[in-house]
Amino acid sequence: MKFYEILVKYYDDIFPENQNTYSFLREGLEPGDKVLDVACGTGSYTIHLIRDGIAACGLDLEEAMIEKADKKAAREGVSPDFVVSDMLNIELVSDGGLRRIYIIGNSLVHLKSKDEVRAFLKSAYDLLSDEGDLIIQIINYERILSQGIDHLPTIQVPEKGIQFERNYSYDPSSSTIEFASILSTQDESRESSVYLLPLLKDELVTELTKTGFKEIEVYGNFSKDPFTEDSVPLVLKAKKNT
């Protein structure tokens, strides 16, 4: 199997739903609120929101992820809208009035330039209701760059023989990071490489403010611990209006 075929097959083992993450994404929502999950993967959080009465929709660029999300939703007896789409085309999957948009799992940094980041933020802002907010979670790249970190902890699922290695290599000439990963199972091993845009906290806060977001909360994880230079993730919640 190809790398992404293996990743889709074992995605929920490698990245299981986390209760702290779900609580953060769910906080403040009322039944019937419209929510968009950007880069939803296999749709675990979208499906959970639907079960809680939220009108959630998910999009992902990988068709195989969406196919698996649809199958999971059918098993759960719910039917959210899952769409194959690029994160730069979110306006094609929603007519606006969204209470919340979230993009987690370090997905935003897969965009190729800061202009693309600005375009995404503008689209998100336009699709949100006046009471809406945008949640972003990426890796804390200030820590990666300042400490010269060249890998993230290997994810291991020993009961299924899964190992997911994640290596980083910074390229100063392009100001990008090569993310080289190795996904191994009991039967096979595959490699993948992609370049990431190492966005920093202050850069994101500045771009969110320029886009028009009024109140921006910054955390070091989904448990709302304070963000520090040693935080592994960076979590932001930006409100459209105060």
Are 163 and 47 in the same domain?
no
Are 156 and 63 in the same domain?
no
d(CA 136, CA 201): 11
Q: What is the dihedral of CA 95, 98, 100, 104, to 10 degrees?
A: 0
Are 33 and 105 in the same domain?
yes
d(CA 176, CA 156): 27
Share of the chain above pLDDT 70, in %: 99
Question: Which residues are within 8 A (CB) of 187 and not within 5 positions of it... i.e. 6 or more apart?
Answer: none
Are 209 and 100 in the same domain?
yes
Model confidence over 4-24: pLDDT tens digits? 788 999 999 999 999 999 999
Are 149 and 218 in the same domain?
no
Q: What is the pLDDT of residue 5?
A: 83
Are 63 and 158 in the same domain?
no
Are 123 and 172 in the same domain?
no
Number of domains composing the chain? 2
Provide the domain limits for residue 178. Answer: 143-196
Burial class (CB in 10 A: 0-12, 13-18, 19+), 103: buried
Instruction: Give DSSP secondary structure letters for 161-216.
Output: TEEEEEEEEEETTTTEEEEEEEEE-SS-EEEEEEEE----HHHHHHHHHHHT--EE
Asked if 80 and 47 count as a contact pair (C-beta separation under 8 A), the reply is yes
Q: What 3-state DSSP class applies to 52?
A: coil
Q: For residue 142, what pLDDT band results from cuts at 50, 70 and 90?
A: very high
Model confidence over 84-133: pLDDT tens digits? 999 999 998 888 999 999 999 999 999 999 999 999 999 999 999 999 99
Model confidence over 154-187: pLDDT tens digits? 999 999 999 999 999 999 999 999 999 999 999 8
Are 116 and 31 in the same domain?
yes
d(CA 96, CA 155): 37
Are 29 and 47 in the same domain?
yes
Are 157 and 218 in the same domain?
no
- CATH number where 108 lies: 3.40.50.150
Are 191 and 100 in the same domain?
no
Q: In the structure encoding, which two tokens stand for residue 131, read together? A: 């009471």
